[in-house]
Amino acid sequence: MIRTPLRPLARILAARATGENPDHIEQENRRLRQEAARDRARSRAEGRLLVLALVFMSAFVILGARMGLLAATTPVELARGVSENISSARADIVDRHGRVLATNLATHALYAETRRMVDPQHAARALARIFPDIDGARMEARFTDPNRRFIWIRTRLSPEQVQAVHDIGEPGLLFGPREMRLYPNGRMAAHVLGGASFGQQGVRAAEVIGVAGAELFFEERLRDPEQIDKPLQLSLDLTVQATVTEVLEGGKQMLNARGATAVLMDIYSGEVISLVSLPDFDPNNRPPPPTEGEPADSPLFNRAVQGYYELGSVMKAFAVAQGLEEGTVTPETMIDTRGPLTFGRFRIRDFRNYGPQLSVKDVMVKSSNIGTARIMQPIGAERQQEFLRKFGFLDTMPLELAEAARARPLLPARWSDLSVMTISYGHGLSTSPLALAAGYATLVNGGYRVTPTLLKTEALQPGPQIISARTSAQKRLMLHQVVQEGTASFARIPGYPVGGKTGSADKPNPRGGGYKKDAVLATFASVFPSHEPRYVLVVTLDEPVDTTGPEPRRTAGWTAVPVSAEITRRVAPLLGLRPVSLEKVNERLAQGH
Amino acid sequence: MRSLLYLCTALSVIALAAWAYRENHLTQQAMNERRSLEREIAALEEAISIQRAEWAYLNRPDRLRDLVDVNFAELKLVPMTGAHFGEIGQIVYPLPVPRAVITDAVDVYEAGVAVPVSLSLGQEEPL
């Protein structure tokens, strides 16, 4: 910038020439200079003020926003059991009436910090006294090992044990809070619940993870922080489950069975009301998986879901249903039952000779293998497969259990004409009791496919219709007649009419080749009340023997049927079913037909 | 005049500072209280969950069955069967409750007893 001199010579000289006072020029210039300086200072001050205003403004905006945010946030409670980024929270599991099946319980884990220990010898001895399975000498060696600073001693302590450890007075023994999974009902519904154990462990918390059953299947749902407060509601009914377990346990013992299973299901919604598999276990203390012997003999094995067996004559209901559905037979059609039926070098026999011919209804009632095979013969392999596939017998029957997906039915390698006949009476195709229950539900509920579920369902969503309502009504009547006139006479319960079909299948030889002698899988699939069915009950006993008679009896009619009948007699009132007279039932069935 | 303004500003700054200091303290106090309340809630929730677990444990079907067996002499409880359903006709229809009949009434008015205004018939209670 060129600085204007206060007294520019040219103007001074000019002023002097005109006789003006040159000081005026100086004053004028001084004034201009001052004005320029003032303007500069002013604009600088304005700029500073603006910056300052912006700073204050933003400070107030931030404060205001923070206050608004604080005012708008919903109050949160201190999350329990969350620390070190390990969440031990897990939602409860309850039955259909809200009774607790599995819950979390606060407990303590015990650990030792050896550097803080005052008297390791005494502590080890005292611990050995409190916990009989702790070896005092070994514990002492671990406490005094200079390479160890941190030792887990116990993952779960009872309150009494906590107090006892406290009383040792050792500052190096410390407790870490733990959430423990508790199944208050013990062995009840063990196979459904599965069990839980600890995952990732920290000092302040440990993950609780499901290891089997519904606990594993619903792992994400149970640990979802959004739904921790909402218990998972299953379709099981604890009272019914307890009753079924009690009766089945008694039946299993009386009949000397190796195992037993029962599935009780709502025929419309597919809700599993009760699912029992014996032998069972305590999910609070889940036994380790078996390392030897047959896996099916392990208490961990869920016979109802994983046990795919040839179930025998119970499958005749489906062959007859297909005959009726395809229109090749009516319940009154006479079928040639002269035996044995020879096919190649294979002979099909009946349990007893039922004479030269039987009506389709009597084939069911008397359970004739030859009759069922003859009904199925003209239908053929392709249509049989298609029919059974619609019922879900050729695939894994889904259920909300971790084990369900692992089991698969055994299908014949080549679906020959012989397979058609053997499968018609339940040999050559393995089925689980659960799949059988779903199949029977479809047979009697008007023909709609049922998908079993362990979750309580509010709205009913019927599946696709597989068989016609007419066939379904005919099946209802036939199943009723099997009980009233046929092989399942022990299931005649006063007040509670039952319809069902027995099945006594020889067990295949585990070493391969043929069937075991005197080893029978006895099954009774029943629906009740038979005039307007609501529930389906499948009871299967593994190698039962009734020894009350002069010679041992193994057929389902003498083993599975009485057990199933007792279950129905006890459970039907619990399900809110009123007893009805047989006359009324017959009247209703005749109408439906 | 100007000095008075300065004095006022200074005083108000001091007052605001004192207020902010107090608010700060109150906030910290409230936060402490909140923490202790949260701890209490957590402890109570834990207690509730333990009570629930214990209730479920005490009501487990095995135990109830054993208790029923032990106390059979007193309770005479048996498993529920179809025979326990009743008909609606089996329930006794509620009998009509007899109305109270006054047999020996005393005429208070005639006897000249002073009746409070509020009790005398046909009159509103004076407010």
Gap between the Cα atoms of A4 and A26, Å rounded: 11
Domain ranges of chain A: 84-233, 254-288+297-501+513-592
Gap between the Cα atoms of A585 and A589, Å rounded: 6
B60·A573 Cβ contact <8 A: no
A426: left (phi over 0), alpha (psi -120 to 50) or beta: left
CA distances from A584 to A157, A589, B30, B104 (A): 59, 9, 72, 61
Looking at residue B21, its amino acid is: Y
Cis peptide before A231 (omega within 30 of 0): no
B82·A496 Cβ contact <8 A: yes
CATH class of A84-233: alpha beta
A78·B41 Cβ contact <8 A: yes
Residues of chain B in contact with residue A572, where contact means CB-CB under 8 angstroms, are: 82
Nearest to A182 among B42, B53, B79 (CB): B53
Say if residues A240 and A247 touch (Cβ distance below 8 Å). Answer: no
Distance from CA of A570 to the nearest CA of B (A): 6
Mutation site, B23, B24, B52, B64, interface A, largest A CB count within 10 A = B52
> B91 or A80, which is more confident?
B91
> B90 or A293, which is more confident?
B90
Residues of chain B in contact with residue A106, where contact means CB-CB under 8 angstroms, are: 46, 49-50
Gap between the Cα atoms of A573 and A579, Å rounded: 8
Mutation site, A94, A105, A158, A187, interface B, largest B CB count within 10 A = A105
Say if residues A476 and A530 touch (Cβ distance below 8 Å). Answer: yes
Give the tokens for residue B115.
């009746």
B49·A573 Cβ contact <8 A: no
B39·A573 Cβ contact <8 A: no
Q: Look up the ipTM and state it.
A: 0.72
Count Cα neighbours of A270 within 13 Å in the Cβ-side half-sphere: 23
Distance from CA of B99 to the nearest CA of A (A): 40
Say if residues A573 and B84 touch (Cβ distance below 8 Å). Answer: yes
Show Cβ contacts of residue A508 under 8 Å, excluding neighbours closer than 6 positions.
A310, A514, A515, A516
B59·A188 Cβ contact <8 A: no
Distance from CA of B7 to the nearest CA of A (A): 23
User: Residue A282, SS3?
Assistant: coil
Mutation site, B16, B23, B80, interface A, largest A CB count within 10 A = B80
Residues of chain A in contact with residue B39, where contact means CB-CB under 8 angstroms, are: 78
Q: Search chain A and give the residue with CA nearest B42.
A: A80
Closest to A436 in 3D by CA, of A272, A249, A243: A272
Residues composing chain B = 127
> A119 or B108, which is more confident?
A119
Which positions in chain B have a beta carbon within 8 angstroms of at least one beta carbon in chain A?
A: 35, 38-39, 41-42, 45-46, 49-50, 52-53, 55-57, 59-62, 65, 79-85
Domain ranges of chain B: 2-90
Distance from CA of B101 to the nearest CA of A (A): 46
B49·A100 Cβ contact <8 A: no
Q: Which fold has domain A254-288+297-501+513-592?
A: Beta-lactamase (3.40.710)
Closest to A367 in 3D by CA, of A244, A240, A262, A523: A523
Q: What is the pLDDT of residue B123?
A: 47
A105·B53 Cβ contact <8 A: yes
Closest to A454 in 3D by CA, of A437, A430, A471: A437
| Per-residue tens of pLDDT for chain A, all 593 residues | 677 788 888 888 888 888 888 888 889 889 999 999 999 999 999 999 999 999 999 999 999 999 999 888 876 655 554 444 567 788 889 999 989 999 888 888 888 888 888 888 888 888 888 888 888 888 888 888 888 888 888 888 888 888 999 898 888 888 888 888 889 998 898 999 988 888 877 777 788 888 888 999 998 888 888 888 889 999 999 999 999 999 999 999 999 899 999 999 999 999 999 999 988 999 988 888 877 777 777 888 888 888 888 888 899 999 999 999 888 888 888 888 887 777 777 778 777 777 788 888 888 888 888 888 888 888 888 889 899 998 888 888 888 888 888 888 888 888 888 888 888 888 888 899 999 999 999 999 888 999 999 998 887 778 888 899 889 988 888 898 888 888 788 888 888 889 999 988 888 777 666 777 778 899 999 998 888 899 999 999 998 888 888 888 888 888 999 999 999 999 999 998 888 888 888 887 777 65
**How many CB pairs below 8 A link A and B?**
74
Mutation site, B50, B67, B77, B88, interface A, largest A CB count within 10 A = B50
Q: Search chain B and give the residue with CA nearest A185.
A: B60
For residue A271, report the phi and psi dihedrals to the nearest 5 degrees. Answer: -70, 130
User: Residue B38, SS3?
Assistant: helix
Cis peptide before A529 (omega within 30 of 0): yes
Closest to A532 in 3D by CA, of A268, A157, A316: A268
Residues of chain B in contact with residue A204, where contact means CB-CB under 8 angstroms, are: none
Q: Search chain A and give the residue with CA nearest B43.
A: A80
Q: What is the pLDDT of residue A142?
A: 85
A188·B60 Cβ contact <8 A: yes
Residues of chain A in contact with residue B57, where contact means CB-CB under 8 angstroms, are: 182, 184
B33: left (phi over 0), alpha (psi -120 to 50) or beta: alpha
pTM of the model: 0.77
DSSP code for A553 = B
Q: What is the pLDDT of residue A85?
A: 59
Residues of chain B in contact with residue A104, where contact means CB-CB under 8 angstroms, are: 49
Beta strands in A406-556 (DSSP E): 499-508, 515-528, 535-542
Q: What is the pLDDT of residue A239?
A: 92
Distance from CA of A208 to the nearest CA of B (A): 16
Say if residues A491 and A564 touch (Cβ distance below 8 Å). Answer: yes
Looking at residue A173, its amino acid is: L
Residues of chain A in contact with residue B65, where contact means CB-CB under 8 angstroms, are: 242, 246
Residue corresponding to tokens 């607790």: A100
Looking at the DSSP bridge assignments, the partners of residue A553 are: A546
Give the tokens for residue A290.
């078996």
Q: What is the pLDDT of residue A86?
A: 65
Which positions in chain A have a beta carbon within 8 angstroms of at least one beta carbon in chain B?
A: 77-78, 80, 99-100, 103-106, 182, 184-186, 188, 238-239, 241-243, 246, 494-496, 569-570, 572-574, 577-579
Gap between the Cα atoms of A413 and A230, Å rounded: 47
